[in-house]
Structure 1
Amino acid sequence: MSETRPRLAYAYHPHSFPTMAIIAAARGRCDLLWLVDASDPDVGSMTKLLARTGTVIDISGMSPGQAASATATHRPDGVLALADDLLVWTAHVAAELELPFLGVDAAVRLTDKFAQRDAFRAAGLAAPGSTVVNSRTSSVEWERIAAECHFPAVLKPRRGEGSRNTLAATSAAHAREVVETAARDDDALGDWVLEEYIPDIDRPVCGEGFANYVSVESFISHGTLQHLAVTGRTPPAQPFRETGFFIPAAVETTLAATIRETAERSILALGATIGCFHTEVKLTPTGPVVIEVNGRIGGGVPEMLALITNVDFLGIAIRIALGENVVMDVPDPAGVGYLLYVQPPNRISRVTSVSGLTELQSLSDVHEIALNRGPGHSVDWRDGNHGHVFSVLGSTESHDSFRSLFHQVESVVSIDGV
């Protein structure tokens, strides 16, 4: 460890950004202090690699105060977390260390979907009506929900990401059945949010054949909020699973500015003053409405940006955490960067074969294919985005060529299962 380089305490999560990507982004910028919960089997298997690339601090079983004390002996200059599950915990640690990070209240709003809706309404932003339900919700309360809520509605865990366990509830009785069944199977899910479905617009404002929702990729450094990109989407798989992302979105200039303004107001409404943000925005008949704000970089965004610009988003996150005043002049993208998540059909629960990947890899606009759930692996729509069978990363010259490639993926690859 260098005595001259700054030291970054990084809250490690095994299912967040790839370990080697974090190592590459930190190289030459800082030394890494890996804050790890070694009691997690997925983390324990990585500790040898982490120890070769930094200092491992095992915080398993520690309170935030204890973790801060253990970290303080290594004299960190910054703290960073890029996983939703770790934001509130890291905010407490950062406060103990008196290092810049999201405030605890902001971190709560960024990870609690119901608290986030309340903050939006308090700031005068459009937000769907919502209520909290769980296995202890009374019959009287369910009757009130049945009388007052508009269905179909969206039912999702109060805390969670990647569209896990997110579905359309057709009625209060349906929502109650899902919640109570989930409590019997996995009580760790706890509270759910039942909220009105954000209405669809009846024309393609985000490009023909693309979904009418986008995300905005942003950061705050030294109190200034800056936007790096507006990311488009391909139509989701049922019930709400992502199938593809692309930068830049196929929206006209005036609408893109309105979307960025909506994202900015939403981020600030949550009390965030530092960090990186991924804000999902749906286009409705009355204008843009925020689906949710995440207090981290969106999955796949650094890779897509790197393919079409010189922007190093993970590097930006590290620089912000170390106190640097980051100002970006984002260049015009050289084409369209994309990441596809190819989801399994709802009818199967186990993959038996995936054919056509070799042919797909031969396409010039395909840079990388990663098999996530191969033959023999179980699949379940409840896994949301994370349950995809394989992903495709690449870049192409235009939205038209990306649209063609998206359909080509569907025709070239076949996923079979039982």
Structure 2
Amino acid sequence: MARRALILVEGHRGSNGLPYVQAAQRLGLHPITLSADPVQYDYIAAERLEAVRVDTDDLDALISECSRLRETYDIAGITSPWEAVYATVGKLCRHFSLPGPNPASIERCCDKFAQRQLLAEGGVPIPAYRLAANAADVESFAAEIGLPVILKPAVGVGSTGVRLCRDVEELAEHTNYLLGGSHIWRSSPRILVEDFVQGPLYVANLMGNDVIGIVAYEFGPPPHFVTRECIFPAPLTDDEYRRIADVSLRSLQALGLGWGPTNIEMRWTKLGPVVIEVNPRMAGGDPKLIQLGYGVDLITEHIKLVIGEGWDLRTRHSQTVVYRSLVPDRDGILDWIDGGSRAAAVPGVAEVKLHVKPNSPIVRRGDYQDCIGYVIAVSPSLAQSRAIVQRGFDLISWSITRFPTARE
């Protein structure tokens, strides 16, 4: 009998790459990663995983490779931890008659302009927005909406290229960054100009049409949106939770989603929840928080769905989880970083991760890649978890020597 395999189209350099592989192995599946550059995923070599180099932007090439693999393996399912190829995953699943997301819905959702149009048509509260193709459009639309505004690529992931522009100087600077050749575009350059909706940020995590949990996020200082702290479950009243869940389900309906994982970012305003973004994929670090807090392994349950098995989303327990990012305050060369093992030994600390090693260059981009590590604490209460994470956080230190031309 042929060995059952799970095909992963690309991996993930963040928090979800290795967990997908490990979950597949626990389910008795042989994970095979198809990637344009498998070397970029450190865990593939470290775990001696099977990987195939193929152009993952070429659907025909992927179909050909999967057909070749079917001669040796029983392909139980196809998925990906990376949003950029998720529509392609849906097309592959349809070609091979496997369970998967609707590729048309994914493509519409990944185009943030199309997404906002559909949400607006569905009566979902969203920020005021305009689509700009050039610097003149950006300036005109920002004046129309009123500063401050958010500028972001119409297609992108991980807060890359997203910035708060508080005055005309910041607006011009970021417009030039996006259109002047510094930003790498995966599609034709189009910029969303959005009203800066203020209020606490929450992320609703869904599987199918079920809201599994809501995470509260806190960012570092503007103009960027770099995560500093997460709390799960988010400290919400019953009415706030109900209203966020209601808006989340309305968003799925408006976008034609509802198969597999979705995470929905929203701000709580004076008028209630306003949807900032709908992502048709597993959230970056949220599955780990939900597993620690509720005992629900979303990645494993997603793979069960992918291979046509029933999932189990029941809460096993209820704990409060606090995540704290390690974010440097300067660019330069990392001389040393220390204290990870001491932090991990603090009672109640569930995990400590350091992403960088000495002599690594540190270049802050204002997105998720700025995080050089994290500490996660778990306890029965929010106050206790915050105190634990602070104790672990304070035990970690590092030194960075500035680049000769670096500025504060």
- Quick check: TM above 0.5? yes
Residue matched to 2:147: 151
For 1:177, the aligned partner's letter is E
Q: 146-155 vs 94-103, which deviates more? A: 94-103
Write the mapping of 1:332-351 to structure 2, written as runs, cut at 5 A.
332-333=317-318, 335-345=319-329, 347-351=330-334
Residue matched to 1:208: none
Change (3 A) 1:46 1:216: closer
Change (3 A) 1:217 1:41: same
C-alpha separation between the residues in 1 aligned to 2:149 and 2:335? 34
Residue matched to 1:277: 262
Shift of 1:404: 2.4
Residue matched to 1:36: 34
TM-score, normalised via structure 1 length: 0.84
Q: 1:67 aligns with which of 52, 62, 70?
A: 62
C-alpha separation between the residues in 2 aligned to 1:71 and 1:253? 47
| Percent identity (aligned) | 19
Residue aligned with 1:243, SS: strand
Write the mapping of 1:157-196 to structure 2, written as runs, cut at 5 A.
157-171=153-167, 174-189=170-185, 190-196=189-195
Number of aligned positions between the proteins: 393
Q: 258-267 vs 296-305, which deviates more? A: 296-305
Residue matched to 2:237: 252
Residue aligned with 2:323, SS: strand
C-alpha separation between the residues in 1 aligned to 2:64 and 2:313? 35
Q: 252-261 vs 93-102, which deviates more? A: 93-102
Shift of 1:128: 0.9
Residue aligned with 1:344, SS: coil
Could you list the runs of 5+ residues in structure 2 that have no partner in the other structure?
A: 403-408
Shift of 1:42: 1.3
Contact 2:301 2:312 in 1 (8 A): no
Shift of 1:318: 0.4
Shift of 1:19: 4.8
Contact 1:65 1:96 in 2 (8 A): no
Write the mapping of 1:217-228 to structure 2, written as runs, cut at 5 A.
217-220=205-208, 225-228=209-212
Change (3 A) 1:183 1:246: same
Q: 231-240 vs 347-356, which deviates more? A: 347-356
Residue aligned with 1:369, SS: strand
For 1:300, the aligned partner's letter is G
C-alpha separation between the residues in 1 aligned to 2:25 and 2:339? 37
Residue aligned with 1:234, SS: strand
Q: Kindly provide the CA deviation profile for residues 145-176 of structure 1, in whole angstroms up to 9, marking residues without a partner as x.
A: 24312111111222222222321112456334
For 1:263, the aligned partner's letter is S
C-alpha separation between the residues in 2 aligned to 1:164 and 1:62? 20
Contact 2:262 2:280 in 1 (8 A): yes
C-alpha separation between the residues in 2 aligned to 1:273 and 1:77? 21
Write the mapping of 1:72-91 to structure 2, written as runs, cut at 5 A.
72-73=67-68, 74=70, 75-91=74-90
Write the mapping of 1:12-411 to structure 2, written as runs, cut at 5 A.
12-17=10-15, 19-32=17-30, 34-39=32-37, 41-43=39-41, 53=49, 56-60=51-55, 63-73=58-68, 74=70, 75-134=74-133, 137=134, 139=136, 141-171=137-167, 174-189=170-185, 190-200=189-199, 212-220=200-208, 225-238=209-222, 239-333=224-318, 335-345=319-329, 347-354=330-337, 356-408=339-391, 411=394
Residue matched to 2:406: none
C-alpha separation between the residues in 2 aligned to 1:169 and 1:62? 33
Q: Kindly provide the CA deviation profile for residues 334-372 of structure 1, in whole angstroms up to 9, marking residues without a partner as x.
A: x21233212122x44444444554543332122322212
Change (3 A) 1:47 1:379: closer
Contact 1:263 1:281 in 2 (8 A): no
TM-score, normalised via structure 2 length: 0.86
Shift of 1:131: 2.2
C-alpha separation between the residues in 1 aligned to 2:296 and 2:334? 37
Contact 2:11 2:33 in 1 (8 A): no
For 2:204, the aligned partner's letter is V
Contact 1:7 1:78 in 2 (8 A): yes
Residue aligned with 1:217, SS: strand
C-alpha separation between the residues in 1 aligned to 2:384 and 2:10? 37
Change (3 A) 1:170 1:234: closer
Cα RMSD (Å) of the superposition? 2.8
Q: Kindly provide the CA deviation profile for residues 172-224 of structure 1, in whole angstroms up to 9, marking residues without a partner as x.
A: 56334322234434352333322111133xxxxxxxxxxx221111111xxxx
Change (3 A) 1:359 1:76: closer
Contact 1:307 1:394 in 2 (8 A): no
Could you list the runs of 5+ residues in structure 1 that have no partner in the other structure?
A: 201-211
